[in-house]
Amino acid sequence: MSSLKINLRAAALLGSLLIGASPALAEAVLHRGNAGEPQTLDQHHTSINIEEFILKDLYEGLTVYDAAGKIVPGAAESWTVSDDGTVYTFKLRADAKWSDGSPVTAGDFVFSFQRVEDPKTAAGYANILFPVKNAEKVNKGEVPLDQLGMKAVDDKTLEITLERPTPFFLELLAHQTALPVSKASVEKNGADFVKPGTMVSNGAFKLAAHVPNDSLTVEKNASYWDAANVKLDKVIFYPIDDQAASVRRFEAKEMDIAYNFSADQLERLKAAYGAQVRVSPTLATYYYAFDTRQEPYSDVRVRQALSMAVDRDFLAKEIYSGSQLPAYSMVPPGIETYGDPSKADFAEMSQLDREDKAVELMKEAGYGEGGKPLAIEIRYNTNPNHERVATAVADMWKNTFGATVTMVNLDVSSHYAYLQEGGAFNVARAGWVADYADAENFLALSVSTNKTFNYGHYTNPDFDALMKKSYEETDPAARSKILHEAEALMMKEQPVAPFLTQADLWLVADKVKGWQDNAANQHLSRFLSVSE
């Protein structure tokens, strides 16, 4: 170890002698906090944004999100879509190269997408690409890999055929699962293609070093097609799962960017750091699901009443210190193709009016004071904030309806395993973070055929029919209208009660330039720079 250090120092000394005394060569380094250690650097096995931030700096998909969170061309410079919306033809950039200098080809993308759907890969997010023709069948092992609807017409032309029109397909292509791997590298190195020194990537940066739980360093990729506009020489990601530790390292100026901190720190940090504190509403909804299979939650009036009685302003301001926003719709605001979501009709009422109406509805349903007793059990996953929310909601239901409310909490794995496996419950906490910026991603959770995420087993043929219609509609405006109708219906029936739109909390030092808050929470380092 020590001899290595000496050698490095000697090399550095020698290097500086050779280059000569030119202080202008100071490297532009961004010290970027990340919410934890990446579980893998294999894009086809990732599912969380810890890996997303790193992988999207290393690799570039066909489409990418720009600094403002808008979809723009990535490795593909342009594309055409067939009239029926089922065939996409992408033209790859002539100068798109891997970090070893070899060209990025259509074949690499075909190989990558086949790898995602190969049942042997067991990719966690294989379903993201299910709109591609035969993807689901390939993933189930029903048809061979080459039946996947992907074709390399030539080295730079890629044709993707879909099962059905998928208006949000370009968003899906910007997902981390859709990032390409180098066919040559994966075939040569197998599972080791993710290691520093071996990894070949096509993004603005390439992997330089990785010490698990300490740091992950990426450096500028000279082969990247837009390298001239990449201002950073190096980005060092620090994996810190303890939010308080992350804030301390930002405050000690060891990191320029810190992601996610405890909401109760918001006021203090705002006072100390002003505009360096960023509260950016994101595409994520915090909601409670009702088990619609059983009394009294099968009664729409009971669900409406319970939902109305929850003072969302209180949750947002008192529990989350304004770091989350009150929500009255399942789809959060900020989706370009959707616009303003369809809110529940009680959104416009004052909280006092809502409570009066709620009591009335509950009486009609025959529960609460003077009716059948109302005993509710709230299930949530163990977390101090979820506990505070559950306590507040329990209190609101007690005060409004005289209900007896009990609470049960389990750790994350157990909580979701229980709901997924169809376990019976009364009311359960859940959250959804968008996989892609489209309303469908939130609404499809409540379709009756969604066995996994429709925890409350809500079944409404009208809602299902509207969702089905939306998949067949290729005109964006007409489609958006159908989705709004579906959401309006859902908000009327409240199979789920959305409480909050979540926000991403960032600390971004003044010296970091080019940062833009966006609901998609996309922040490629390629658009950032640092000033001393």
Among residues 438 and 493, whose Cβ is nearest to another protein?
438
CA–CA gap between residue 343 and residue 34 (Å, rounded): 34
Where does this chain touch another protein (CB under 8 A) — which range of 83-91, 170-178, 226-234, 237-245? 237-245
Q: Select from 154, 187, 254, 395 the one that contacts another protein (CB under 8 A).
A: 254
CB of 13 to another protein, least distance (A): 16
CA–CA gap between residue 497 and residue 428 (Å, rounded): 10
In the window 380-409, what residues touch another protein (CB under 8 A)?
381
Q: Is 381 within 8 Å of 416 (Cβ atoms)?
A: yes
With H, G, I as helix, E, B as strand and everything else as coil, classify residue 490: helix
119 touches another protein by CB under 8 A: yes
42 touches another protein by CB under 8 A: yes
C-alpha to C-alpha distances, 161 to 166, 177, 200, 396, nearest whole angstrom:
11, 18, 28, 51
Among residues 121 and 157, whose Cβ is nearest to another protein?
121
Where do we find the tokens 């009609």? 364
Q: Select from 79, 416, 471, 515 the one that contacts another protein (CB under 8 A).
A: 416
Among residues 147 and 215, whose Cβ is nearest to another protein?
215
CB of 388 to another protein, least distance (A): 18
With H, G, I as helix, E, B as strand and everything else as coil, classify residue 256: coil
Q: How many residues interact with another protein (rule CB under 8 A)?
A: 58
With H, G, I as helix, E, B as strand and everything else as coil, classify residue 332: coil
Q: What are phi and psi of 226, to 5 degrees?
A: -110, 30
238 touches another protein by CB under 8 A: yes
Q: Select from 215, 321, 385, 516 the one that contacts another protein (CB under 8 A).
A: 215
76-81 β-sheet, strand order: 76-81, 87-92, 157-161, 150-154
CB of 444 to another protein, least distance (A): 12
313 touches another protein by CB under 8 A: no
CB of 129 to another protein, least distance (A): 12
Write the burial class of residue 227 (CB in 10 Å: 0-12 exposed, 13-18 middle, 19+ buried).
middle
Q: Select from 420, 449, 468, 476 the one that contacts another protein (CB under 8 A).
A: 420
Encoded tokens for 79 = 């594309």
Among residues 41 and 427, whose Cβ is nearest to another protein?
41
179 touches another protein by CB under 8 A: no
Encoded tokens for 336 = 């370009």
Among residues 11 and 122, whose Cβ is nearest to another protein?
122
Helices 300-308 and 351-365, interaxial angle, to 10°? 150
In the window 157-176, what residues touch another protein (CB under 8 A)?
none
**Sign of the torsion formed by the C-alpha atoms of 304, 309, 315 and 317:** positive
Give the helix/strand (H/E) hosting 206: strand 205-211
CA–CA gap between residue 27 and residue 208 (Å, rounded): 15
DSSP strand E in 291-415: where?
A: 325-326, 375-381, 404-410
CA–CA gap between residue 458 and residue 447 (Å, rounded): 7
431 touches another protein by CB under 8 A: yes
Q: Select from 143, 417, 465, 478 the one that contacts another protein (CB under 8 A).
A: 417
Where does this chain touch another protein (CB under 8 A) — which range of 42-50, 87-95, 318-326, 458-466? 42-50
Q: Which residues bind another protein (CB under 8 A)?
A: 1, 5, 37, 39-42, 45, 47, 119-127, 136, 139-140, 191, 194-195, 211-215, 238-242, 244-245, 248-249, 251-254, 381, 410-414, 416-420, 431, 433, 451-453
